[in-house]
Amino acid sequence: MRKKLVLKAFEKYASRWVVLTIDIILICISFILAYTVRFNASLNFDIENLYYQIPFIAFIALISFLSVGSYRGIIRHTGTRDAFNVFVGVTLLSMITISIVLINTTFKIIPSFTIPKAIVIIHYLISILVLIISRYVFKAFFEIMSTELSTITNVLIYGAGNSGLITYGALNRDTKNKYEVIGFVDDDEKKIGKKIDRIKIYNGQKIDKDFITSKHINEIIISIQKIKPDKLLYLTDKLLQLGVKVKIVPPLSKWIDGDLEANQIKSIKIEDLLDRKPILIDNPIVKRDVNNKVILVTGAAGSIGSEISRQLSLYQHKQLVLIDQAESPLYDLQQELLQKGRKNITFIVADVRDTVRMSLIFKDYKPQKVFHAAAYKHVPLMETSPYEAVKINIAGTKNIADLSIKNNVERFVMVSTDKAVNPTNVMGATKRVAEMYISCLSNSNDHNTKFTITRFGNVLGSNGSVIPLFKRQIENGGPLTVTHKEITRYFMTIPEACSLVLEAGTMGNGGEIYIFDMGKSVKIYEIAKRMIYLSGLNFPDDIDIKITGLRPGEKLYEELLANGEDTAPTYHEKIMIAKNLQINALAISNKIKDLCDSNKDHNNEKIVQLLKIIVPEYKSKNSIYEQLDNIQ
């Protein structure tokens, strides 16, 4: 504490004027040293001459340093620029001094005043040396004091290749944090045991808790470019259990101007551990299909809808109309986009189930493309409220789709879910019925609107998804709740999901269902454990995981294809088209209309029974509606 106060006091009062004063004092001392050197370290010279020569030198030094500004540099950040300024200042001092001495000698202005030319030269050399060294001494003092006061983070860099070396350099350059690189870690036997800048390369297989404890390691930074997902998953699972913070170096494409900075090295997120490569879409056709168009997005304030809106706002659209019935989230999205300077955007609080209201919106804005993301998606809540699920997921979709045809919309894109495949709950069944209605419209030749469906799995970080739930449970001290130890889900990030939606808006001739090759499904139980470790806690010592049992309508494994469905490839290797089952469009369309009419009676059992007639593969799980399957 005392050292900290001393350092603060020094920083406060060591202003440029103090630096100037110290420089002048050192110049005077150097002048005395110059005489001493000239006379072989003896005092065999007229000392009385120093009484008027030293004030003269001090005055000339003051003028020189004020002119050059060599005292203005921040001592603790001394560099070559400061050293050069010192050189210029002392050179000016010596030139003025020698000029005055020569003028005085020639014109005998002050006969008694003279400084030997040798003294001036020696003083010049000594002054440069003393002033530059003094600055680096003070800099070292600040670094030592700062090091003693700041917390040192001991780091291991996993990866002794080029990326590891760049990471090492970035940590050394960081001025805000103090990192001590204890060693490099690599699995390459040719590198193990060697040293980089006197820092040893260790065998990755030898890194255990004893090693971490003995070396006092705080962080391990994974610095391997183009690391395979399964390798990253293996390393992270292993390293997190050692009780250290695990960070990762971002891809080269995300470095600032091609240079890596320490603040870009972030803690690993759950998105990094999906055990698959991120799906990247870069289609210039999206730009062509969006620019100068009027675009309408329903459910614009939701997790998917808001990201679709963000991505669309980056294009040169003619008008972007964002609709949602949730006013607060829509207001938040409005403020976000306005602050970012996005233009030509209209925000409307409206309900997609309100036919009159939506008709007026279509009439006023005349959208050319519609992205329909409005839906209820919470499985347990919809299991107890079939009326609401049918009203928004089916009737709402039907309303917007019918209006799209009536108003000659070019393209209608519906956001669906993998829960619509072989549904076991009301929510999934209603989304499947909505898909079927869109398919019915696609089979009609009475309009020019192209209909497209996008179907994908769970979205990381979306409202109601498992990740935010786990985060809240960790903040509250646990336990984390998982319905079944073997339950698995497909996952993707919100930007990936919304890129698919935009991509689907440009592909095909209408009637297609686009799905992702989402890799392997992930165990929710394993995600829960990783999130505990990523939070710096231990499982089960700090936070445990509680198995609560499957919820109504929930199944262990989600699917992306229904029974009898097959896929066809597209030009993107990760995007496929689900080959739809043949349906009787007229019969199904009439049944869906009857369902929407019957829904007004608020008879949940009747509603679910009609859903099961329209979707024969709908078999309830852990639900009160299982009895209807037996009746069927």
Q: Which residues are catalytic?
A: 419
Which of 287, 309, 282 is closest to 574 using CA atoms? 282
Spatial neighbors of 107 by CB under 8 A, at least 6 apart, are none
- What tokens appear for 527 in the block? 């995600």
Which of 562, 620, 610 is closest to 588 using CA atoms? 610
Spatial neighbors of 40 by CB under 8 A, at least 6 apart, are none
H/E element, 523: strand 522-523
3-state secondary structure of 290: helix
Which of 341, 294, 302, 338 is closest to 319 using CA atoms? 294
Compute the distance between CA of residue 246 and CA of residue 268 in angstroms, rounded to an integer.
6
- Written as one letter, the residue type at 532 is I
Compute the distance between CA of residue 23 and CA of residue 34 in angstroms, rounded to an integer.
16
First and final C-alpha spacing in the chain? 78
Q: Are 450 and 510 in contact (CB under 8 A)?
A: yes
Compute the distance between CA of residue 630 and CA of residue 612 in angstroms, rounded to an integer.
11
Q: Are 578 and 515 in contact (CB under 8 A)?
A: yes
- Helices 426-442 and 585-598 cross at an angle (nearest 10°) of 130
- What tokens appear for 382 in the block? 């919809």
Compute the distance between CA of residue 394 and CA of residue 388 in angstroms, rounded to an integer.
10
Angle at 571 between CA 568 and CA 574, to 5 degrees: 70
Spatial neighbors of 541 by CB under 8 A, at least 6 apart, are none
Half-sphere exposure of 91 (CA within 13 A, CB side): 7
Any bridge partners for residue 481, and if so which? 546
Q: Are 578 and 513 in contact (CB under 8 A)?
A: yes
Compute the distance between CA of residue 289 and CA of residue 343 in angstroms, rounded to an integer.
18
Compute the distance between CA of residue 274 and CA of residue 440 in angstroms, rounded to an integer.
36
Instruction: Measure Cα distances from 147 to 317, 324, 341, 357 in Å.
Output: 53, 54, 43, 66
Q: Are 131 and 93 in contact (CB under 8 A)?
A: no
Helices (H), 276-396: 284-290, 303-313, 327-339, 355-365, 379-383, 386-389
Residues in the chain: 632
